[in-house]
Amino acid sequence: MNGTASLVNSWNEWDPLREIVVGVADNACFEPREPGHRPQLRGKDGGAFPTGPKPPEMIDRANEQLAGLVSLLRSHGVTVRRPEAPRLAEPVRTPSFEVPHQYCVVCPRDVMITVGHEIVEAPMSRRARYFEYQAYRKLVYEYWNADPRAVWTVAPKPSMADSMYREGFWEWPLEKRHREMHASEFCVTQDEVVFDAADISRFGRDLLVQESMTTNRPGIRWLKRHLEPRGLRVHPVHFPLDFFPSHIDCTFVPLRPGLVLTNPDRPLRKGEKELFLRNDWELIDAPRPVSSDDEMPRFCQSSAWLSMNVLSVSPEKVVCEEAERPLQELLDRLGFEVLPLPFRDVFEYGGSLHCATWDVNREGSARDYFP
Ligand code: ABU
């Protein structure tokens, strides 16, 4: 860091990347069943979703692909840091909930976000992920100690008590579920502040926040009251055809100023596009993923739209999953240098290339893309 530059500095999803944290699969467990989550096996074979620690060979495979991402980023001049891998297999008990074990620390994107010079730790929405921030604390202290401009904020932790979740949500008949979801009512109630950091997408002075299974209206209100006095603008957004929305980075993915990759199955709510259209941004639909949802890895709980979960190294260079050839071809036609990378063995840990990272430093400053 030179005399004037900030170590903690990242205003959007595309500026040239300087420093990033990549998750680790060590000690990962299968995600437990809980009021905010009902994991299910993929495919037609059926069977119960496993519990407890993941087998070592599965962890090794994911770690190998995460290491591939680390090497690729380093070869492009990016500093890469890794979180600690705490023990995750023991039961967790707080005054308001218990859970048989934790999940993993593969997806820092869900927990941590850099907004300018500020690091925000998200409250989170699932019990098994309540303490996930701990894996990043050593790094956060390092950044905070090294950079006198860095601000560190821990958003309010919710209780995650039974009352924070809609009783019976998972048993609702499909018709009721669709009705409630169109009213943006999901498995978390509106009584406490809830958000995962991955429901936020950064566009300089503007941030989009998706209302979802993992982010509720008080969560968005908290972000607005926290960030808007600092000169930022927070825009709630909705994708009403996504019946299980969670994390915006498989739905609405900005690639450079003026260009967003959109999900053709999940159009933005009428009226919410205006901000982009008024400012001459192009919204370009991603091609369909190469796998169907049924063909995704057996323990993966994300949709096949992980295809869109790309990581920008700069406004000209994008890391994309190796198998997603149609998307790679589109990006190529749009003028990007595409860096293909195998990452499928990471999918069952909650995400792909964007999810598995938390950018701490990108060149650039607070720009207004929507004047
Ligand atoms: N964690 C990203 C998952 C998003 C999706 O399933 O579409």
Verify whether residue 359 is a known catalytic residue: no
Q: Which two tokens stand for residue 181?
A: 């979801």
Contact in structure between 347 and 102 (CB atoms under 8 Å):
no
Q: State the Cα angle at 284 between 278 and 285, rounded to 5°.
A: 130
CA distances from 12 to 80, 92, 371 (A): 18, 35, 16
Counting from 1 in the atom list of ligand 1, the atom nearest the Cα of 109 is 1
CA–CA separation, 177 vs 62, rounded Å? Answer: 34
Verify whether residue 247 is a known catalytic residue: yes
> Which pLDDT score, from 0 to 100, does residue 2 have?
45
Residue having the nearest C-alpha atom to atom 1 of ligand 1: 351
Q: What share of the chain is helix, strand, coil (3-state, %, to 5)?
A: 30, 25, 50
Q: Which of 15, 247, 300, 354 is catalytic?
A: 247
Question: Which residues line the pocket of ligand 1, CB cutoff 6 A?
Answer: 198, 246-247, 250, 302-303, 305, 350-351, 355
Counting from 1 in the atom list of ligand 1, the atom nearest the Cα of 350 is 1
CA–CA separation, 207 vs 118, rounded Å? Answer: 14
Write down the ipTM of this complex.
0.95
> Which pLDDT score, from 0 to 100, does residue 57 have?
98
Instruction: Please say whether the dihedral angle defined by the alpha carbons of residues 215, 221, 226 and 228, taken in this order, is positive or negative.
Output: positive
Please state the domain extents for the chain.
17-362
Counting from 1 in the atom list of ligand 1, the atom nearest the Cα of 110 is 1
SS3 158: coil
Contact in structure between 301 and 245 (CB atoms under 8 Å):
no
Tell me the CA end-to-end span of the chain in Å, nearest whole number: 31
* Residue corresponding to tokens 């996504």: 242
DSSP string, 100-120: S----BS-GGGTEEEEBTEEE
Which H/E stretch holds residue 277?
A: helix 274-278
Q: Which of 196, 206, 242, 359 is catalytic?
A: 196
Instruction: Please say whether the dihedral angle defined by the alpha carbons of residues 316, 319, 320 and 322, taken in this order, is positive or negative.
Output: positive
Contact in structure between 351 and 107 (CB atoms under 8 Å):
yes
Contact in structure between 9 and 362 (CB atoms under 8 Å):
yes
Do strands 311-314 and 282-285 pair parallel, antiparallel, or not at all (unpaired)? unpaired
How many residues are recorded in the chain? Answer: 371
For each of the chain's 371 residues, which pLDDT tens digit applies? 444 579 999 999 999 999 999 999 999 999 999 999 999 999 877 789 999 999 999 999 999 999 999 999 999 999 999 999 999 999 999 999 999 999 999 999 999 999 999 999 999 999 999 999 999 999 999 999 999 999 999 999 999 999 999 988 888 888 887 777 778 889 999 999 999 999 999 999 999 999 999 999 999 999 999 999 999 999 999 998 888 899 999 999 999 999 999 999 999 999 999 999 999 999 999 999 999 999 999 999 999 999 999 999 999 999 999 999 999 999 999 999 999 999 999 999 999 999 999 999 999 999 999 99
Which one-letter DSSP state was computed for residue 184?
T
Site to probe by mutation for ligand 1, drawn from 195, 292, 309, 343 as the one with most ligand atoms within 8 Å of Cβ, is 309
Contact in structure between 108 and 21 (CB atoms under 8 Å):
yes
CA–CA separation, 367 vs 59, rounded Å? Answer: 40
Contact in structure between 327 and 345 (CB atoms under 8 Å):
no
Do strands 151-154 and 200-203 pair parallel, antiparallel, or not at all (unpaired)? unpaired
SS3 312: strand
CATH of domain 17-362: 3.75.10.10
Verify whether residue 355 is a known catalytic residue: yes
